[in-house]
Every structure is written in C-alpha cells, then in structure tokens.
Structure 1
Amino acid sequence: MGAEARILGHGGIRAVAQAAQVGETTVRKGVDELEAGAEPLGRVRRPGGGRKRTSEVDPGLRPALLALVEPDMRGDPMSPLRWTTKSTRKLADELTRQGHRVSADTVGDLLREEGFSLQANAKTIEGTQPPDRDAQFRYSNEQARDHRNAGDPVISVDTKKTELVGEYKNAGREWQPQGDPVKVKTHDFLDRRGPGKAIPYGIYDTTANTGWVDVGCDHDTAAFAVASIRRWWHARGRHDYPHAARLLITADAGGSNAYRTRARKTELAALAAETGLQVTVSHMPPGPSKWSQVEHRLFSHISMNWRGRPLTSHDVIVNAIAATTTRTGLRVEAELDTNTYDTGTKVTDAEIDALAMSRHRFHGDWNYTLHPADVPPAPGPRTDRATVATTARPAAGPAHLDGCTLRDPELTGMTVPEMDAVLNDLIPALAEQRERLRHERRGGERRRARGAGAKDKLSDADRILATVLYLRKIGTHDLLARLFGVTGSTLTRAVQEVRPLLAKSGPTIPPSTARFRTPADVAAHLDRYGNQPPRKTKPAC
C-alpha cells in the first residue's frame, strides 16, 4: 500500500486508504518504511512480543515431564501412568492432573528438545557370561580351521523355533491383491486334530555353504538331533567328503544339543561307530547361542523365504525350506522325519564310562571327541534310587588316584613346590583352628590325649587338597567325594574348615578349564596330560 501511494504522488495516501479500507496512518507507515530503506516484510511485533511458550510460563512443567519419563521408573509410585504406555497424550493428561496445563503436541516438542525419541527394546543383554567365553570361541575356530585344512567337514547345528502347522499367522508381509490378505486363524492354539507341529533341525556346512534341514514331527530330543546329523551324512556328507576321517560339530549349549545331556553322547558314539568317523563336538559357551553360524547363515534366510505365508502343511514347510537360496550361493535341502522319539531316556555312569570318548584338555565339558573304536553298550537297567540312597560311603576313584596323584599341577593349577608350600602353611593353621573350636565346644581343656578316639576320615593334607580342587571347579560335589572316598557331608565340612584359611593366607585359586564327571574321566585326563606317571600302588607321600 505504501508503494502504491508513492506512485500516485500527492493525495495518494488518502486514495489508497479509501480503496483498501484501512486507516491513512497505516498507509503512511508503509511509505515511511519504504523511504527509510527498511525490509518491506519486516517484523510487526517488537522483539519479545507475542504469547510466551508454555514451558516459560510454567517453569515446573519440564521437570515434571522428565520425572514421568525417567528410565529407572522413579517418581510418583502411585501414578497410574507408571504402569501404562507413555504416549504424549497420556503424558499431557497426567501433567494436567498435576496442575500443568499442556497439550500432547507441546509434550512431544519438549521431549524432542530433551533428546528423547521413540525407541524399541534392543536385545543385547546375554546374561551371565562364563569367564572363558572368548577363549572357547577361539578354540572352536582353531578346531574348525584344522578340520577344514585337512578336508574334513565342519557343520553348525541347531533346532529352529517349533512351527505350528496349519492356517496360523506367520510373521512378515507378502505381496497380495490390495484388500485381499490371506485369512488365518485368530488364535495360535495348537489344533490336536490338525497336522500338528514341525521341528526343523538345521545342519549348515560351513565349507560348502549348504544347508540340510530335518523337519521332525514328534519331540526335539537328543536322539532326534543325532538322527538328523546321520541323515545329513548319508544324504550329503559322505558324497561331499568321500575321504573324510573326522567330523566337527559346533552347537549351542542347551536344548537337544546340551553338553550335559548324556543321551546325546551315547547317540554320537553310535554315529561314530557306524560311520567310522572321529566325531568332535565343540559347544558354544552357555548364553550366546545367537552367534551360531546356522542361525545367521541358514535359519534367517529360511524365515525370510516363508515370511507372511501360512505354513498349512508339512509339505509346504519342506518345499519352502528347500526353495531357500541366497545371492552368495546357499543351497538348502529338506526332508520330513515322521519317526517318533522317546523322552526321558536315562543313561547310567557305567554307560558313559564305556564310551570311547576323550575330553579335550581345554574345557573337556564343552569339547570332546568320540572315537569309532568301540560300539557303545546297549542301555542297561535303570539304577534303583533306593539302592543309591542307602549307600553311606561312596566308592573311591581308581586305584592310582591317590592323594599324591590328585596333587598333579594339571588339577591343582599349582606347581608341586607351590602346593607343598600351601600344605606346610595351612596344616598347622588348620590343626590350631580345630583345637580352638573343640576347646570352645568342650568349655575346658581336653581330657584325652591327642590322637585318641575316632580317626578323621580325611587327613589335613587331603582336606586342603579337596578344598583346592573344589575351588578349581573340576567337577561336581559328588565327584570330589568319590575321588576322596568320603560322603558329601564330610567333604562339605572339610571345605568349610579350610576355605577361610585359604582365602586369608593362601594363593588365589583360579577355576580350571577342565571339567570331569567321573573318576575315570580324571584318570584318563591325567594319563594323557598329567605331569606324573600313573601309579599302580599307593606311594609313600
């Protein structure tokens, strides 16, 4: 308007004001701004003018909002918002209830200013990690490299998530005509009269980049797992590796692949005897099972291949798995396994001892080899629990596992002079502690001479040695009791007496990487890795 008034010249301000139906003062201000060289579209309000922001008018708004969204859930424990979804609308309602009038949009702006954003849960916490986790990964890699260099197969095995067979919703999306999705059941309940379930057991050949999936219909047991490996060997393994003498299996530490499962070891021993292969198993440490190669290189591609597609039958599952490929050349074969596998199979100590199995020096519980020399014995009768319960004193270990042999540095983690120094320091302290406790218990001086009365089942040297082996965690409590030929309660009392003295004045006892289950395992380990030759008679120690 100021520009038009200047063009009209004298009387232009009044003419423009009448035409625009505004005041002449407004038009005159426009003319003055043009003549002064100011911005034609400059500010109308003075700096600081206009309505103030809600956070400035209400200084307590921002702290109240942050108290509601703190990650550690501090704040008002009685607030109903604590246990509900914290949307901006609900946050605004809760702040309004506290006396801070604010809208949902303002809450979102404040949260973004404070560095908040919508975040999903991140699966990163793996729980308690074993101290030798990284060392076990390196050891498995060395084993795999040695087998591959020799032309022997290396496979990674695991059981995929059990799938419901039928018209059930499957995660993911697939291209369909708009408005015409595949209709599935509203509830994912297993229909007992339907096709049942599918248990895909995957075997990934790390060298050939090929996969084999055995789709079971019964139970995910150790027998099913080894039967799947046997199927892979006869269908693919023996043809791809005709000159193989060894087989390395990498697996997780739980489920049907658990390193504690005895039935798995007996089944693998039967597989070794049948195929003539030396079967080595290297388990992953407990916890990080998602790092398994079969998870990332096989199962993930299978899940992407059948995403958004109901698994209506076992044939659909087998065909979808077999059709899985990748640009890097992955090829997958699948087969349906309709066999039944019993659960609750019991394997006795005698059956385990009869296996041609050798535990590795590093973590023998996670790494072991089954040799094809002997066929495992047939399952024997189940042990009677009542007979075991009435046994007052466990049988001792092999004859050459005496106190001197159990002091081997391979078990104690200390050299012979170091162990002798510990015994020399703790035996007098242990005798003094025992005498003091007995004096307090009697309430006076002893009435019988030293050495009179019943003899202790364990000497002081054996008490100290048993405590060292207990802290080394070489085996179960029952195994240590059997090695020393005492009951579990006697061993417990010995550890309770010696452990405080050892912690006070003895060296730090690091856990051993070797794990044993039976005295025969200890004897075999010492015969192979021990620093002392096995003895047939008890030496003067």
Structure 2
Amino acid sequence: MAIHVDISKLDELILLINNSVDEKQKRILLGKATEVYGRGGATHVKELTGAAFSTLHSGNIEANNCDEIVSGGRIRREGAGRKPFVEHHPEVIDAIEKIIDGQTYGDPSKVIHWIPQSMSLRKIEAVLSDEYGIQISYVKISQLLTDMGYSKQVNQKMLQVGEPSPDRDEQFGIINDLAKQYLETGDPVISVDTKKKENIGNFKNNGAEYRKSKDPRKVLDHDFPFAELGKVSPYGVYVLNSNTGFINLGTNHDTSEFAVTSIAAWWDICGKNTFPESKRIYITCDGGGSNSSRSRAWKCELQEFADYTGLEVMISHYPPGASKWNKIEHRMFCYISKNWQGQPLIDIETVVSLISGTTTQNGLKIDCIVDNNIYETGRKISDEELAQVNLFPYEQLGKWNYKIKPNCKD
C-alpha cells in the first residue's frame, strides 16, 4: 500500500524538531530528514531551519552510525566546538594589561583592582581593535577582566591627603615612556621600595590560614616587639623585564645606604648575569623614605653604585601621594603579604622561607637574602660631597627624574 506524505506536515515536524531538541539530537534528526525529502532535501531543510550544509551532512553520517548514537553521551564530539578566545589570541591578556596599566584604582597593595568609569569596556574594545588588531567584544573583555582580578565598582572616590600634585599626570606619563624605552632595548627596569617593617616573634599576622576545625593557631596577646628578636626591613627590587623579585632582608635601620646596598646586592646576585650587555638601568621608586628625591645621601650612594657597576643610572620618583602605584607594590609586595597571611613570623628563617616561596600564576619568583649589617642614621652630606655626584636632571620634571653617570676613572 502506497503512503502519501504531506510535505507541509513534514515541514511542520522539521520545524518542531528544530525548536525543541538539543544540539546533538537536532543535528542527527535534521541530517536524516534530508534523505526523507529526497532529491534537494538538504537545500529544503537548510531553508526551513537555517542549518548549515556541513551540519546536515555531519548529522546524516551520525544518523547512519547507530553505535555512535547509542554509546556517545556527548552533544558534540570530543574536541569540537569553538575554542576559547585566549587560545586563538594569547596576546590579548598582555594587551589589556597595557591598556589599563596606570588607570586602575583601589588599593594597589591588594590583588583586586578596578578600572575608572572613563576607561569603559567599549573604549578598551576600540583600543584593542585599533592598536593591537584584536577583534573582541566588550562582553568578552568583561569576562577576561574578571578572570584577571578586576571588578566593576559603583563608588570610585579616591581620597588623598593634601592637594594632588599638578605634575602628577605628567610624571606618570614620563615614567611610562621611559620604562617602555628601556624595556624595548632590553635594559633593566626595576621598581624598588621598602616593605612595611615586621616584628619577629609569635605575633598575630593578619589574615587566615587553613587548619583543623576549632584549632586556631595560638599567638601572643600583644604586639610589643622583643628586643632580642627585633624587626626586619624587607627592601625589595622588582624586575619588570622578567617578572622576578629580590628581597634584601635588613635587620637594622632603613637608610639610603641600606637601600642602595640592596640594589647593589640584587645586581651582584641576579642583575649582572641577567643583563650582561647592559650599560644602563632605569629605577622607579617613591619620593620619600630611604630613597627620597630630596635625599643627598640617596644620590651619593647611587653615585657609588654607578661607579661600582659602570652603569648609567636613570631614576624616576613617583609624585607625592602616589607611591602606592609603584609596580613593586602590586606586583610583588601584595603577593608576599598574601603568602604569609595568618602565619606568625616567628624567626628570620621563617620570613626568608615565606618570601622565597611566594609565586604567582604569571610566574613570579623571588630571591631573598639576610642583611645583618649596621646602618647608621643621621648621616650628613656636605655640599662638597654632593658636588661629586655626576647628576644630570631630565629635560622634564628634573626634580623627580635625573640621571647619574659613572665618574671617569683615572
């Protein structure tokens, strides 16, 4: 007995399948339907459902392979489907970092930051397209920013003690341009600073650690330091070229001599082997403390460093109220604090171990040494001593940017 098929009813069935089942079932059933329609069936199903010829062809093959349909629990075959965007464009993460670098707000000593409202997702999308040739939607950028540790915030007030320096933005631009120049030529670019002094002993350390339930670590109920244990001053060097760090763990005063001795220790242990051909170095630091822009001792010590290494030393200080934006704060110090949170710094060895054990997913590695030298405070630098410093102010904001060249040796 001949069976007559009403094509319009079959079309209704195909549309029902197209709107009702999952991707795998749809692919297989529509693929099989191309045979039912006969000659021109694939074109007819494509016009009805919008399915691609390649999808219909694959579905038809799967429909004729009964074993695969029964045994396969996947909607797509293994390895099928769209690959993650980052796999196709691994450079997108670095590009986004460069775009928002220096534009982030929040406490830079924390791992989470947020971007100002003026740097919108669509603006980042436009810069990625125009300057990096990366085509990506602002929705995907939002997802990547979340993965990178950035978040959207409603309130964006930033309080600063006193009036911000009118030269603040210009100085940030100078630092960015100089760092880019030195990095492009393969010369070392380092960010330096002294991390907060830490008491040594069984004192409470902010944060939490994993322990057995209801078994908190017992620590002293006061934070008065023990004279016999003392404090430590971690002076850090962060190398932008290689995402590596160095800590000189001082046990005495944080002076300009200590600061430059720490930089020299990094050069002797790590720097000269990493940059054997370099004749110059770029240092960014705060405008106060042991590396103050107004400190005569700092400049005299840097002259000794330049004479010792033969390096031409370029220095840039962050403007007042902006020292927390120094790279070392949010690329190294915050991770050290995170690594030892909740753990008492009971002795020097513990501090060294926790600092050396600090790593990140981006590959940060830190070397740490102990410096037991005595550094005298209150050292006075005479006009005659200062005159021996071979200092050349930069063409812009010379009070914060200057170069110290090695003195010629007889």
**d(CA) in 1 for partners of 2:221, 2:259:** 33
The answer to whether 1:206 aligns with 2:235 is no
Cα distance, 1:297–1:126 mapped onto 2, change above 3 Å: farther
Local SS of the residue matching 1:228: helix
Range with greater deviation from structure 2 (309-318 or 361-370): 361-370
- The residue that corresponds to 2:313 in the other structure is 279
The answer to whether 1:244 aligns with 2:264 is no
1:336-383 per-residue CA deviation (whole Å, 9 max, x = no partner) reads: 1111100001001121112111111211111111101247xxxxxxxx
- Answer yes or no: is the 8 Å Cα contact 2:160–2:321 preserved in 1: no
The answer to whether 1:295 aligns with 2:329 is yes
- The residue that corresponds to 1:175 in the other structure is 210
Aligned-residue offset at 1:280: 0.8
**d(CA) in 1 for partners of 2:408, 2:236:** 28
- The residue that corresponds to 1:165 in the other structure is 200
- Answer yes or no: is the 8 Å Cα contact 2:188–2:275 preserved in 1: yes
**d(CA) in 2 for partners of 1:185, 1:287:** 35
**d(CA) in 2 for partners of 1:185, 1:329:** 35
Query: Which runs of no fewer than 5 residues in structure 1 stay unpaired?
Result: 1-119, 376-541
**d(CA) in 2 for partners of 1:318, 1:148:** 30
Aligned mate of 2:401, from 353, 367, 389: 367
Aligned-residue offset at 1:124: 3.4
TM-score (norm 1): 0.46
Equivalent runs, 1:444-483 vs 2, <5 Å: none
- The residue that corresponds to 2:221 in the other structure is 186
Cα distance, 1:342–1:177 mapped onto 2, change above 3 Å: same
- The residue that corresponds to 1:221 in the other structure is 255
- Answer yes or no: is the 8 Å Cα contact 2:313–2:405 preserved in 1: yes
Aligned mate of 1:339, from 373, 389, 395: 373
Cα distance, 1:343–1:361 mapped onto 2, change above 3 Å: same
Local SS of the residue matching 1:187: coil
- The one-letter amino acid paired with 1:358 is F
Query: Which runs of no fewer than 5 residues in structure 2 stay unpaired?
Result: 1-154
Local SS of the residue matching 2:258: helix
Aligned mate of 1:133, from 158, 165, 168: 168
Q: Which runs of 4+ in 1 moved over 2 A?
A: 120-127
- Answer yes or no: is the 8 Å Cα contact 1:355–1:374 preserved in 2: no
**d(CA) in 1 for partners of 2:209, 2:157:** 26
**d(CA) in 2 for partners of 1:127, 1:292:** 19
1:123-176 per-residue CA deviation (whole Å, 9 max, x = no partner) reads: 633532111110001011111111111111000001100000000000000011
- The residue that corresponds to 1:356 in the other structure is 390
Q: Percent sequence identity over matched residues?
A: 44
Q: Which has the larger radius of gyration?
A: 1
1:451-502 per-residue CA deviation (whole Å, 9 max, x = no partner) reads: xxxxxxxxxxxxxxxxxxxxxxxxxxxxxxxxxxxxxxxxxxxxxxxxxxxx
- The residue that corresponds to 1:80 in the other structure is none
- Answer yes or no: is the 8 Å Cα contact 2:352–2:369 preserved in 1: yes
- The residue that corresponds to 1:156 in the other structure is 191
Aligned-residue offset at 1:277: 0.2
**d(CA) in 2 for partners of 1:321, 1:127:** 34
**d(CA) in 2 for partners of 1:150, 1:175:** 45
Greater RCO between the two (CA within 8 Å, min separation 6)? 2
- The one-letter amino acid paired with 1:161 is K
Aligned mate of 1:268, from 283, 294, 302: 302
- Answer yes or no: is the 8 Å Cα contact 1:277–1:371 preserved in 2: yes
**d(CA) in 2 for partners of 1:295, 1:124:** 18
- Answer yes or no: is the 8 Å Cα contact 2:260–2:301 preserved in 1: yes
* Structure 1 vs Structure 2 CA RMSD: 1.8
**d(CA) in 2 for partners of 1:146, 1:298:** 23
- Answer yes or no: is the 8 Å Cα contact 2:198–2:232 preserved in 1: yes
**d(CA) in 2 for partners of 1:176, 1:347:** 52
The answer to whether 1:142 aligns with 2:170 is no
- The one-letter amino acid paired with 1:275 is T
- The residue that corresponds to 1:414 in the other structure is none
**d(CA) in 2 for partners of 1:374, 1:179:** 66
Cα distance, 1:319–1:121 mapped onto 2, change above 3 Å: farther
Local SS of the residue matching 2:343: coil
**d(CA) in 1 for partners of 2:388, 2:291:** 21
- The one-letter amino acid paired with 1:283 is H
- Answer yes or no: is the 8 Å Cα contact 1:126–1:288 preserved in 2: no
**d(CA) in 1 for partners of 2:156, 2:377:** 36
- Answer yes or no: is the 8 Å Cα contact 1:214–1:337 preserved in 2: yes
**d(CA) in 2 for partners of 1:374, 1:168:** 50
- The residue that corresponds to 1:47 in the other structure is none
**d(CA) in 2 for partners of 1:314, 1:300:** 20
Cα distance, 1:122–1:163 mapped onto 2, change above 3 Å: farther
Local SS of the residue matching 1:156: strand
Aligned mate of 2:357, from 300, 305, 323: 323
1:204-245 per-residue CA deviation (whole Å, 9 max, x = no partner) reads: 001100000111000000000000000000011001101001
- Answer yes or no: is the 8 Å Cα contact 2:231–2:251 preserved in 1: yes
Cα distance, 1:121–1:336 mapped onto 2, change above 3 Å: farther
- The one-letter amino acid paired with 2:308 is E
**d(CA) in 1 for partners of 2:389, 2:208:** 50
- Answer yes or no: is the 8 Å Cα contact 1:174–1:309 preserved in 2: yes
Local SS of the residue matching 1:347: coil
Cα distance, 1:126–1:206 mapped onto 2, change above 3 Å: farther
